[in-house]
């Protein structure tokens, strides 16, 4: 009788492969969550930081509160917005939700020293 209970227990346990399946399912769930939730959120955050760091005078923007205005000045983490003629407000740089139109800014080039030779074509 002792032998039949041992055989029945071994058959009921299903072997060693059955214990690996739940671990693989949990790992697969974490991989799917990373690609479906975490990675896109990181990409959106990076794009928002790039947009906010590129703000400059003349840009028309919308704040997270829905206020439309034109950037008149940018300090370290403060953006000055003109919301009406002569009315300026201060906002934290992360409060800018999106840029509607970018102001035309000249390309920044290296200054040419006076003793440099002209380029001949």
Query: What is the residue extent of each domain of the chain?
Result: 54-101
pLDDT at res. 60: 94
Q: What is the pLDDT of residues 58-83, one digit of tens each?
A: 999 999 999 999 999 999 899 999 99
CA 116 to CA 78: how far, in whole Å?
Answer: 39
> Are 32 and 26 within 8 A, CB to CB?
no
pLDDT at res. 121: 46
CA 5 to CA 33: how far, in whole Å?
Answer: 43
Q: What is the mean pLDDT of residues 95-105?
A: 85
Residue 117 banded pLDDT, cuts 50, 70, 90 = low
Fold for the domain defined by 54-101: SH3 type barrels. (2.30.30)
Q: State the chain's mean pLDDT as an integer.
A: 81
Question: Does residue 21 carry a pLDDT above 70?
Answer: yes
> Are 80 and 74 within 8 A, CB to CB?
yes
> Are 70 and 58 within 8 A, CB to CB?
yes
Answer with the residue of higher pLDDT: 20 or 12: 20
Question: Does residue 119 carry a pLDDT above 60?
Answer: no
């Amino acid at each position: 009788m002792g032998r039949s209970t041992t055989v029945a227990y071994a058959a009921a346990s299903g072997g060693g492969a059955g214990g690996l399946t739940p671990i693989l399912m949990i790992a697969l769930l974490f991989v799917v969550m990373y690609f479906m939730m975490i990675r896109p959120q990181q990409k959106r955050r990076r794009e928002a930081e790039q947009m906010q760091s590129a703000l400059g005078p003349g840009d028309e923007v919308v704040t997270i509160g829905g206020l439309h205005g034109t950037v008149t000045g940018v300090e370290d983490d403060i953006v000055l917005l003109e919301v009406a003629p002569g009315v300026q407000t201060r906002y934290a740089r992360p409060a800018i939700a999106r840029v509607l139109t970018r102001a035309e800014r000249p390309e920044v080039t290296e200054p040419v020293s006076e003793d440099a030779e002209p380029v001949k074509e």
